[in-house]
A and B are shown apart, each in its own frame.
Chain A
Amino acid sequence: MANTEKNLSCIKNIILVASGKGGVGKSTTSLNLALSLQVLGKSVGILDADIYGPSQRKMLGIPNEVKPEVLENNEIVPIEHHGLKAMSAAFLSDEKAPMVWRGPMAVRALQQMLTLTKWGQLDFLIIDMPPGTGDIHISLAQQFNISAAIVVTTPQIISEIDARKAIEMLIKVKIPIMGIVENMASFTCPHCREESRIFGDGAASRLASDYQIPTLASLPLMQEIQENADNGVPSITQIEGSEASDAYLSLAAKVIARSYNKPDDTSKSVNISIV
């Protein structure tokens, strides 16, 4: 087995976090999901696949000068932070320099980041996908054994329209859709505690109904989540017991329950017979 295949063979579940639209909170959801899975006892890695706008370095709070170690055989040792094994295009470039890559180059770069990284034994690898439904998505689906995808949307109709495109694309490339995460679903006024659904209502339930996909989480819009993301301190590590951390942990529990692990020794304990 080639080293590159070996790097992926020890990962039980590869989960894509996708959306049709940018700015819906995909990266924040990916990171807090990854950390919540870890809180629930799983070994987790995160790959920032947003080649053109990587944000996980900033969100994880990894300083710019920290670079991953590249071994003699070109394998890359992921950066470990908050207990997560992380890899991002941002680790291989300057924060201020844009990635000027045509589609095939971006696809190739992502393939290399995925296969050359020494992930080790992981229960989950969360891939924070770029927005849209382009080359990178199709390439990942065709070349790697993706366990499932989670689609993030906000309640806005304009986001729902793009989420539909993402769902249709995932169905076409035969990636099972684990469920929908409705982000920024509600806002509770810190002064009067009144709840408002400022981006509208019902996108997740309409998608769930139309595609028979479960809604895994309805996450609140919270100022702390934005501040924590910008300050590099992921919310799940900061606001334990809050509405947001409860929602992320609940999301992680559902992901564990619905994940499709590769066969392991425990499968032998199920007695299967056909007569």
Chain B
Amino acid sequence: MYNALPAVSVSYDRATHIVTFVWQDETRGEVSDTELRSFCACADCRVKTLVGQVVIGRDCTIESIEALGTAGLTVRYCDGHDKGIYPWEYLQAICAGDAKEYLRG
């Protein structure tokens, strides 16, 4: 359903807190910074989730976004969290509201 192709462009608007992806088939996907942060699948966030700690803070403003080759993105949030790696396929699933299904395989 989703593919591992990198997006053509990724733009983040600090005012609206929305990240917009333009995919290679020219379709667009959007996700808020808070939602993107909540779907961080790094080990730290998983541990916190497992022990019932809150993963996301009040402010999930994004400070920087970097491409990891053909694999996906890393995102640095204003709270300093930058451990998460978001494969392109996963980002497509997040934009489509299917992140939990994707993680279940």
A residues bordering B, Cβ < 8 Å?
12, 170-172, 174-177, 179, 208-209, 211-216, 254, 256-264, 266-267, 269-275
Nearest CB of B to A85, in Å: 21
Please tell me which one of the listed residues A12, A260, A263, A271 contacts residue B8 in the complex, with CB atoms under 8 A apart.
A271
Known contacts: A179-B105, A269-B6. The answer to whether A260 contacts B67 by CB under 8 A is no
| Contact of B60 with A by CB under 8 A | no
| Contact of B62 with A by CB under 8 A | yes
Nearest residue, chain A, Cβ from B11? A273
Q: What's the interface size class on B, roughly? A: 35 or more
Please tell me which one of the listed residues A209, A270, A275 contacts residue B7 in the complex, with CB atoms under 8 A apart.
A270
Find out whether the CB atom of B67 lies under 8 angstroms from the CB atom of A267. yes
Main secondary structure of the interface of A (DSSP, over half): mixed
Find out whether the CB atom of A212 lies under 8 angstroms from the CB atom of B62. no
Nearest CB of B to A116, in Å: 27
Main secondary structure of the interface of B (DSSP, over half): mixed
Known contacts: A257-B87, A272-B65, A273-B9. The answer to whether A208 contacts B104 by CB under 8 A is yes
* Chain B residues within 8 Å of A261, by CB: 68-71
Q: In whole angstroms, what is the CA distance A274 to B19 when docked?
A: 9
Find out whether the CB atom of B4 lies under 8 angstroms from the CB atom of A260. no
Find out whether the CB atom of B103 lies under 8 angstroms from the CB atom of A170. no
Nearest residue, chain B, Cβ from A173? B43
Find out whether the CB atom of A175 lies under 8 angstroms from the CB atom of B71. no
Q: List 17 A-B contacts (CB under 8 A).
A: A171-B43, A171-B46, A171-B47, A174-B43, A175-B43, A214-B105, A254-B105, A257-B3, A261-B70, A263-B67, A270-B67, A272-B66, A272-B67, A273-B11, A274-B11, A275-B12, A275-B13
Known contacts: A171-B46, A270-B8, A275-B13. The answer to whether A260 contacts B68 by CB under 8 A is yes
* Chain B residues within 8 Å of A179, by CB: 105
Q: In whole angstroms, what is the CA distance A270 to B70 when docked?
A: 9
Q: A212-B100, A270-B6, A272-B65 are in contact. List 9 more A-B contacts (CB 8 A).
A: A175-B43, A176-B43, A177-B43, A258-B90, A267-B66, A269-B6, A270-B67, A272-B11, A275-B11
Map CB proximity to A onto B11-22 as digits: 1 under 8 Å, 0 otherwise.
Answer: 111100000000
